[in-house]
Amino acid sequence: LDGNNVTLWKYRSLLPVRIEPVTLFEGGTPLYPVDVDVDARVFVKHEGLNPSGSFKDRGMTVGVTKALELGMKSVACASTGNTSASMAMYSARAGLRAYVLLPSGKVALGKLAQAMMHGARVIAIRGNFDVALKLVREISERKGLYLLNSVNPFRLEGQKTIAFEIVDQLGHAPDAVFVPVGNAGNISAIYKGFLELREAGYIDEIPKMIGVQAEGANPIYRAFVEGKDSIEPVENPETIATAIRIGAPVNARKALRAVYSSKGKVLQVSDEEIVSAQKMLAKQGIGVEPASASSLAGLLKEDSDFDTVVCIATGNLLKDPEEVMRVSGTPVEVDANISEIERLI
Ligand code: F0G
C-alpha cells in the first residue's frame, strides 16, 4: 500500500473501509516535546505536517475512500478553508469531482490556493461558514453529492486515529488533550479514539478532553459554563483564527459529551493569546496557523496539575501567510551592498 511510510492506515483494522484506501500517506505526524511555562510534560501533536497541512487529511482519506466505495461521482463540503483544501486534494487523487462552498473573503490564502489548484469547483458565498454548511447540506441532498463535512461519520473515523497515535507515541495515555474547537468534529473524533482504546484494554483512563474556542466564536464554551448539553448559536462569529470562525457547530452535542464524560472542560482564548501562543511555538521551530495555537493558549491559561499533556496543533503556518505577515512584520529592505547589510548584522 504505502511502502515504508508510516500512515494512519497502520490502524486499518479499526477503520470502516472495504476497498483499497485513497491515500496520500497521511497521519504519522510528530509529537514534539515543547518547553513552555507549565508544570507538566507538554507535547504538541503537529497535524500541520499532514499532506495538505491539516488534520483534515485523516478524515478525508477515509471519507473519500467511502465515496468511491459507495460509487459516488462527486463530493462536496462547506469550509473555513482546510476541509476544502484537503477534500480537493483527496478527490483529485481519487478522480472525483469536488464542490466547495466558502465564506467569501474569510478563507486564508494558502487554503484557497490549495482548493483551486487541486481542481475543486470553488464557490464563495456572501455569508459565513454556518450559512455555507446549511446550504451545502441542502444542495448535496438535492444533487446527490457526497457530503464530506464532519457530519459525515467516516470523517470522524479517520480523525480518531489521532488518539491512537498519541498513545502509540507516548507509550501511555496523557492526562489531558487540548483541542482547538470549531465545528467540534475533531474533539469528538479524538474522544472516540480513546474510548476504543479503553474498550480494547490499551488504556485504563480516558484523558480529560479540553476544548478551546476563540472568544469571538465560543458557543460551546458558553454551553459548558452554563452546564448545558446543547448550544445557543453565536450569530456573527469573529476571530483572527478564521479556521474556527464558527457560530453554530454541528457536532456541539457530541463534543460536550466528550468533555463532560472525560471530566474535561471548554476554555476560551482571546486573539492576542492565540497569536502569543503561535509565536511561542514558532520560536521552538513549530509553525502553526492561528487556530492551531489556541490549544496551547488554552493550556497556558489553565492552572492544572497534569503530569502529561498533549496540545493538538491542527494546521500549518503556511496556511495563513497574511496573518503571519500582519503579526510578524515585514523584512528590512536595503541596497545590495556589504556595508549596508553588515550594519544590520
Ligand atoms: N483547527 C483548524 C486549523 C481547522 O481548520 C479547524 C476546522 C479546526 C481547528 C476545528 O476543528 O471543526 O473539528 O472542531 N476547520 C473546518 C474547515 C471547519 O472547514 O476547514 P473542528
pLDDT at site 187:
98
**Does the fold of domain 56-151 match that of domain 8-54+154-327?**
yes
202-251 confidence digits (pLDDT tens) = 999 999 999 999 999 999 999 999 999 999 999 999 999 999 999 999 99
Q: Is the CB of 132 under 6 A from ligand 1?
A: no
Minimum CA distance residue for ligand 1 atom 15: 243
Q: How far is the CA of 233 from the centre of ligand 1 (A)?
A: 17
Q: Is the CB of 295 under 6 A from ligand 1?
A: no
Number of Cβ atoms within 10 Å of the Cβ of 131: 16
Return the closest-CA partner of residue 59 out of 79, 44, 42, 43: 79
Query: Quick check: helix, strand or coil at residue 2?
Result: coil
CATH number of 56-151: 3.40.50.1100
Q: Is the CB of 320 under 6 A from ligand 1?
A: no
The full set of domain ranges for the chain reads 8-54+154-327, 56-151
Q: Is 34 within 8 Å of 286 (Cβ atoms)?
A: yes
Nearest atom within ligand 1 for CA of residue 82: 20
Nearest atom within ligand 1 for CA of residue 47: 3
C-alpha 101/C-alpha 117 separation (Å) is: 16
Q: Is the CB of 181 under 6 A from ligand 1?
A: yes
Q: Is the CB of 212 under 6 A from ligand 1?
A: no
Q: Is 32 within 8 Å of 312 (Cβ atoms)?
A: no
List, for the chain, all residue ranges whose pLDDT scores fall below the cut of 50: 1
Give me the residue label for grid cell 499532514.
Answer: 50
Alpha carbon separation from 169 to 29, 67, 172, 343 (Å, rounded): 10, 31, 8, 46
**What residues contact 115, with CB distance under 8 A and at least 6 apart?**
79, 81, 84, 85, 87, 88, 100, 102, 122
pLDDT at site 304:
83
pLDDT at site 6:
84
Return the closest-CA partner of residue 328 out of 316, 320, 336: 320
CATH value of 8-54+154-327 in 3.40.50.1100, 3.90.950.10, 3.40.50.2000, 3.40.640.10: 3.40.50.1100
Nearest atom within ligand 1 for CA of residue 179: 9
State the cell numbers at 131. 450559512
